[in-house]
Amino acid sequence: MMALKTSTGAQFAKIMGVGGYRPRRVVDNAEIVTYIDSSDEWIRTRSGIVERRWASEDETIQMMSVSAARKAIERAGIEPGQVDTVIVSTVTHLSQTPAIATTIANELGAKGAAAFDISAACAGFCYMVAMADALVRAGSSKYVVIIGVERLTDLTDIHDRSTAFIFADGAGAAVIGPSDVPAIGPVVWGSDGDQADLITQTQPWDTAIPRHERGGHDPVAQAAAAADGVDDPQATATWPVLRMNGNPVFKWASYAMAKTAAEAMDAAGVQPDELEVFIPHQANNRITDAMFRALKLPEGVVIARDIINHGNTSAASVPLAMETLLESGEAKPGQTALIIGFGAGLVYAGQVITLP
């Protein structure tokens, strides 16, 4: 039997640069409470959020992604043409196909790059770090751009008291490429589909929009609507939104994810007192506090609190928080950081990295 050749890549991989895009519109709690029965004090106490960013019509998934990725590529010190793979994590690109990664790669100037989307909710960035690390070390790619991007406001019911104040929009990107030294630890990841109903879209698109685009109305839907005295089933369609059962999600994230974070540090051979920066998914400040206590991290560790001013941006939250810490000087290149994401599915992933 003939022996096949296999590819080999760099011994190690690293995050070379990170970039973000935050929408122009700042929405404070005073505006939010005009939509829901709440107060600024309640929102701050429950989540830590003071304000968040909502995308305007021109701040599309594509536009925000390209802006964030260009910053990451520039900071990585490479040219767009050197990028050979683009991965995008999003749950709010509302077109089923093609993958938004293909047109993003084209606009970036990464001609011919492999490009695909993933759906891993708020764990998306950490999922992509693991995938890009493996691609670079396997020799399948040399420079990978990963982008977490969301327009969660497209799927948010601003009158839903449990979610309206949480979700926000934005994009965060990173370049992952070869390294001479270890800079991305082993991923600890997984899912718990038994709890998939805790964070969901209220209905699938075919239920929300009961019409066959290939030739007019759905006759079955028409007949059912007629029986109900409705002339046009399209008139009964409702736009899907996100719903979350907050209390069990809070308990799961606060305690189960602390175990995952500890496993990620152990897999990387890092003790809690050796960790310098902690960048969890920006879901809730109280979750971050609970994880910090459970992990017994040292008092001097730098903790990302990006949620205060930018809300929960799902797949974009970890890279946006990372950029904020690096730009402010609170965290410095070369420091050892733990990143972890968790969200709808329920899915989770975490790893220890060296900051770019």
Catalytic site positions: 122, 281, 312
Q: Residue 205 CB: number of other CB atoms within 10 A?
A: 12
Distance CA 132, CA 285 (A): 29
Length of the chain measured in residues: 356
Distance CA 231, CA 209 (A): 15
Cis peptide before 98 (omega within 30 of 0): yes
| Cα end-to-end span (Å), the chain | 45
| Max CA distance (Å), the chain | 71
What one-character-per-residue DSSP string does 312-339 give?
A: B-GGGHHHHHHHHHHHHTSS-TT-EEEE
Nearest by Cα to 36 from 165, 169, 151, 153: 165
Distance CA 104, CA 184 (A): 25
